[in-house]
C-alpha cells in the first residue's frame, strides 16, 4: 500500500469520527461499512459479547444527538438511509473491542487502520493546539466586535 493510499484511507476514516458527550466516536453503520458488514450483523456481534462493551466504550445516541448528527451529515430521509432506530456509537476503546468480537482478519486490519486514524487526529491536535487556541481567540473577539457593532447600529437608528 502506498503512502497516498494510506493517507486517503486515514482521511476517509477521520471523516467518520464525530464528537458526542465529549468523546470521539464512530457510528455503528460507518463501522459496519468499514468492516464489510451489515449494521445489524455488527450490532448482533456486540450483543453476543456485551460484557466487552461497557458504557464508556459504546452507547446509544439520544434523540437530540441523533437529530444533530443527521443534520450534520445532510441525510435527507431517515427511513431511506436505514436509520429507523437510534444508532450505537463506539469510542476508540470500543472499536478495539470490536476486532475481538468480530474475530476476522478484516476486523483486525480495519481496527488497526481506525486506531491509526485516531492517533493521527490526536497528533494533529497536539501539534496545532496553539494555532487552534489563537483561532478561537480571534473568533471570540470577532463575535464581541460584531455584537458591539450591532448594538451601536441599533442605538443610532
pLDDT mean across residues, the chain: 82
CA 134 vs CA 13, 52, 98, 139: distances in Å: 27, 40, 38, 9
pLDDT digits (tens, 9 = 90+) for 28-46: 999 999 999 999 999 999 9
Query: What pLDDT is attached to residue 79?
Result: 45
pLDDT digits (tens, 9 = 90+) for 100-131: 888 888 888 888 888 888 888 888 777 877 77
Give the integer Cα–Cα distance in Å for 46 and 6. Answer: 28
The interaxial angle of helices 92-102 and 28-35, nearest 10 deg, is 40
Task: Record the pTM.
Answer: 0.69
Of the candidates 9, 12, 89, 6, which has an alpha carbon nearest to the alpha carbon of residue 53?
Answer: 89
In the block, residue with C-alpha cell 482478519: 105
Give the integer Cα–Cα distance in Å for 123 and 102. Answer: 28
Candidate ranges 17-21, 127-131, 139-143; pick with highest mean pLDDT: 17-21
Question: pLDDT-derived band of residue 49, with 50, 70 and 90 as boundaries?
Answer: very high
Q: SS3 of 35, please? A: helix
Of the candidates 52, 67, 65, 63, which has an alpha carbon nearest to the alpha carbon of residue 25?
Answer: 65
Query: What pLDDT is attached to residue 77?
Result: 53
In this predicted structure, the answer to whether residue 80 has a pLDDT above a threshold of 70 is: no
pLDDT digits (tens, 9 = 90+) for 65-74: 988 888 776 5
Q: SS3 of 145, please? A: helix
Query: What pLDDT is attached to residue 81?
Result: 55
Amino acid at each position: 500500500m502506498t503512502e497516498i493510499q494510506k493517507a486517503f484511507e486515514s482521511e476517509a476514516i477521520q471523516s467518520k469520527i464525530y464528537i458526542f458527550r465529549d468523546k470521539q466516536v464512530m457510528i455503528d453503520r460507518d463501522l459496519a461499512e468499514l468492516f464489510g458488514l451489515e449494521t445489524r450483523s455488527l450490532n448482533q456481534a456486540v450483543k453476543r459479547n456485551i460484557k466487552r462493551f461497557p458504557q464508556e466504550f459504546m452507547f446509544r445516541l439520544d434523540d437530540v444527538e441523533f437529530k444533530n448528527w443527521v443534520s450534520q451529515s445532510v441525510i435527507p430521509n431517515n427511513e431511506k438511509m436505514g436509520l429507523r432506530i437510534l444508532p450505537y456509537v463506539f469510542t476508540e476503546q470500543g472499536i478495539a473491542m470490536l476486532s475481538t468480537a468480530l474475530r476476522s482478519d478484516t476486523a483486525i486490519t480495519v481496527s488497526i487502520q481506525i486506531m491509526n486514524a485516531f492517533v493521527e487526529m490526536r497528533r494533529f491536535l497536539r501539534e496545532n493546539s496553539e494555532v487552534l487556541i489563537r483561532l478561537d481567540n480571534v473568533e471570540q473577539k470577532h463575535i464581541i466586535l460584531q455584537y458591539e457593532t450591532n448594538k451601536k447600529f441599533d442605538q443610532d437608528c
